[in-house]
Amino acid sequence: MPDHAPPPAGRRIALIAHDNKKRDMLEWAEYNLDLLAGHELFATATTGHLLEQQLGLPVTCFRSGPYGGDQQIGARIAEGEIDLLVFLWDPLEPHPHDPDVKALLRVAVVCNIPVACNRATADFLISSPLMGRDHQQWDPASGQGRRNQAALTVARAG
């Protein structure tokens, strides 16, 4: 049954940027400062402190990515406590914590939250009219996906 609760006042947005992408994150956040101000922000340590110091944004900071910050944010996503992930990762550099990065992206996809991995997609997400609407995350433990897939199959056959 659909949830008819009013749309959230603001989203819970996680912001992560690899070292070579921190400037991109800062520029993106500055460009979207007014939009971001209406949301609750979370970030890994260095990214969060940069956003706080340079732009004055209030950010809840976790550990640095290689020291468990990616996993901390992934756990928040799995618990339904993060609504959107902006993760500017560097595809051209190797990272010792690549398994953590892959796990974070996996849980975001499995839990059906919007994910932006570049500035263009982040712009589309933050400015989307859907940001003001309610969105149902998926809890993989509930079996909801199997029910939704069955309903989709029936609807297509009908």
139 tagged catalytic: no
| CA 95/CA 101 separation, integer angstroms | 9
| CA 50/CA 22 separation, integer angstroms | 8
Question: Helix, strand, or coil here: 86?
Answer: strand
Instruction: From the candidates 3, 70, 83, 123, give the one annotated as an active-site residue.
Output: 70
| CA 58/CA 60 separation, integer angstroms | 7
| CA 47/CA 83 separation, integer angstroms | 18
Number of H helices, E strands in the chain: 7, 5
Where in the sequence numbering do the catalytic residues fall?
70
